[in-house]
Chains A and B, each alone.
Chain A
């Protein structure tokens, strides 16, 4: 087979530079001694040190991690249930509709998701008094909502691939349905659950728009803090923070991809 033409290679390279040059420059400048973002003043890790002295940042990072952890866990549970309903149940009338609704958050503009959730929360508070006010809880619910869309996609693809007769074999050998789920199904879809969780986790960590809509006083996530800081001018410690986030996100994506691959080989 012939390799790609020179033209394709060049275009590929240009594409990669376009995508990654800003990220690389950000990482490089996070180690910049100078306070000026655009002037190189020698290598230093002082912005990282400074970052860890900033209570606002630390507080926001902690809030973000908590939200990401809880919402990713919720997303996996909702995503698993939805996937089972969509893949395993016999055809029911509103199946196509449900399938569309589950995946809608993947394509819906974030502004609209954020706005509609905000309206929902306000209306609910007026009607039933819950959730009272907006803060971490509302962000968690919002993130779980769109995280479950991603989780459902990942889990569904795994469930579709799974040979149903494996579960039937377990039933045949005397295991009751619940037992089959925990002994057989869960271990087999575990890699998908893991990668779905990591995906929801990083998406939650990443989200600015939806969180801004549904958050309230006292619940600022990391992206929100960064955004407000940047509006006062880009400072090098934001670069350092961004570098750390990039590190965490890439790690998450790599682990998720590895999990999916491992799952494919085993099943």
Chain B
């Protein structure tokens, strides 16, 4: 029910949003209408197993788990480099003590 109410409110807002219509003398009429969308939510968690909890806590906020789970088979060294990049470049807030468990989990992933 709560969902439906929210959706209805969203639709009203969408209809009420001002549709900008600008016509130029030189150019043919083209209208750009305000847009509002809903994105699907990804509930997929990392598969159960040692380290799954630490993965769900650290590697599922910026992107879906599929970013990890659909990778080909990578070496431990490659996974170590990826985790380093997530932390150093993309500023993933991963605690130092969680890193070994994350790398162990990743190194055990094999393509399904």
Same complex for A and B? Answer no
**Hey, which bits of chain A sit against chain B, CB under 8 A?**
none
**Hey, which bits of chain B sit against chain A, CB under 8 A?**
none
